[in-house]
Amino acid sequence: MLEQSKRRNIYPSLAVILLLATSTTLAIAIRPSSAATATTNTGVMIPLYTYPDSTWTAVVQARSTYPTVPIIVIINPNNGPGPSSDPTYLASVKNLQSAGVTVLGYVATGYASNSLSSVESQANLYKTWYNANGIFFDEMSNSVGNENYYSTLNSYVKSHGMTYTMGNPGTSVPSSYIGILDNLCIYESSGYPSLSFISYPGYPKSDFSYIAFGVSYNAAFVTNSFADVGYVYIDNLSGNNPYSTLTSLFLQTEATLSTLDTKSSSTTTTTSSTSTASTTSTTTITTSTTAANDPRLTISSQTTAGSVITGFWTLLYDSTGATLATGYTPIAYSLISGQAYTVEADSYGSCSFAHWQDTGNTSNLRDIAITSNTNLVAIYNCGSTTTTTTTISTTTTTTSKTTAASGSPVTIKVVSVNSLGVQFSGMYVVVKASNGASGGKTLDKGYTTLTFNGLSGTTYTVCVSNYQTNTFSHWGDGNSNSCKTVTPTSNVVMTAYYG
């Protein structure tokens, strides 16, 4: 995000992503708390690379006009803090901070090639000269193995009295990077990203941001991405330096987010946890468009013998078939009263879906539209259960174990890149079950970037297709078979290269 240096647009192959928590709660990396992250609202982050002028004043005015919208600005006096303190910068930074704007200083890391001492020295000058709230680390690596480099920088910044760190890999990251800094810019490119590309299920949206430049304003996209990111920047400029001035789309973005933040302030935030046969947990998902009195749908699971079992995968679709939410039984969703949805209850292991308890319907897909709190029970046939046979002379009891779903939730993200490593979208993907009774069953399909929600330790087959002049070449590990099996133990990104 610096006009004088080359912004990375190469997306390297990613190794299998690391570390879901070993507890029953989805992993969320721990970091020191900061005032800038203590909000569920989505805000605007601005590469404010101009010398203090009327655009800085416009940011202060916007903060006053839309007080619910957080603003982060990134200042960059001279490819970093520059050779000496600038009194004009100092006064202008104070004005921004007085208005409630968070100010970060720009430092390039050279994709973890710049020495820690050099980067730390520049960070310290931002604190000493301008009392910056934190640091923005540009040219951030997303290669597994460089996590400690950025963790060290985060610790340095926080230990020197600053409260916020943001990194800019500009593309997807392995989960081992999430939480090392307070926020990661996971997309910086011309055009809008796909929603699946900026979605990281199981992590708070405050961990992520994106920049789309060279675009016209699309309020619908900003609205649809609201649940996925903590900060956005929508820029109508393009070329070598799309940050040469404050975009004319700034106030439109502020207005959209102000409306969304106001709606979101009265809703319940998303919390997720896994469940096993011995642990019961509930996931509540409330969208920003639901009201406090909207009905609650609860889905639980039992065996045909009436025993409560947990940990079965469910999906919630809207009327167009788009996936709204997923999770394991027992699970609760807050829905919009009277709106049409479809729910799906999946089989797992030795337990196959039998029927819905209230209707007896044997289809695991079910259309619903509720106006009051509703409980649905999915009944599973898990083989033999405890039975008692009585004769005149004896009573015989036979017992066999009922097996419920196990494993932690993981995501498989499939991205497509060209021979130069530049990401593009629109290549068809099919995800299939690879073993067990459901072997070969299609579990998901769609276009890159596609994110599939699965279970750790389960084997899946992922197939990608050719289209027109885009011919599949190989996966990121060199495998040239367009269908590849994967058994994830944590979140994984699969990169398909096309010639």
Most confident range (mean pLDDT) of 10-19, 273-282, 367-376, 394-403 is 367-376
Does residue 10 form part of some domain?
no
Do 437 and 482 fall within a single domain?
A: yes
Boundary of a domain, candidates 355, 370, 398: 398
Say yes or no: 191 and 338 in one domain: no
- Structural domain total, the chain: 3
Does 9 fall in a domain? no
Which percentage of the chain shows pLDDT scores above 90? 44
Flag whether pLDDT at 330 surpasses 80: no
Statement to judge: residues 96 and 213 lie in one domain: yes
pLDDT, mean over the chain? 79
What residues make up the domain containing 224?
35-264
Residues 120 and 228 in one domain: yes
Residue 223 belongs to some domain of the structure: yes
pLDDT(250) > 70: yes
As a whole number of angstroms, the distance between CA 191 and CA 205 comes to: 21
116 in the same domain as 206: yes
Examine the domain organization and report whether 147 and 218 are in the same domain: yes
Q: Is there a single domain that holds both residue 149 and residue 248?
A: yes
Over range 22-39, report the average pLDDT: 34
pLDDT at 210 over 60: yes
Q: Does residue 5 lie in a domain region?
A: no
Please indicate, yes or no, whether residues 176 and 123 belong to a single structural domain of this protein: yes
pTM of the model: 0.53
pLDDT tens sequence across 169-208: 999 998 889 999 999 999 999 999 988 889 888 888 999 9
- Let me know if residue 403 belongs to a domain: no
**Residues 238 and 363 grouped into a single domain:** no
Does some domain include residue 19?
no
Q: Please report, for residues 108, 216, 345, 372, the alpha-carbon distance to residue 385 in angstroms, rounded to integers and kept in the order given.
A: 62, 61, 21, 34
In a domain, 446, yes or no: yes
Q: Are 391 and 413 in a shared domain?
A: no
Q: Give the pLDDT of residue 183.
A: 96
Asked whether residue 15 is assigned to any structural domain, the reply reads: no
User: Could you tell me the CATH number of the domain that includes residue 122?
Assistant: 3.20.20.70
Looking at the structure, do residues 118 and 234 belong to the same domain, yes or no?
A: yes
- Choice among 109-118, 229-238, 381-390 with the minimum mean pLDDT: 381-390
Q: Note the pLDDT of residue 283.
A: 37
Structure-token match 């405050």, residue found: 206
Centre a 10 Å sphere on the Cβ of residue 418 and count the other Cβ atoms it contains.
14
What's the CATH number where 450 sits? Answer: 2.60.40.10
User: In the prediction, which pLDDT does 122 show?
Assistant: 97
125 and 151 both lie in a single domain: yes
The pLDDT assigned to 264 comes to 63
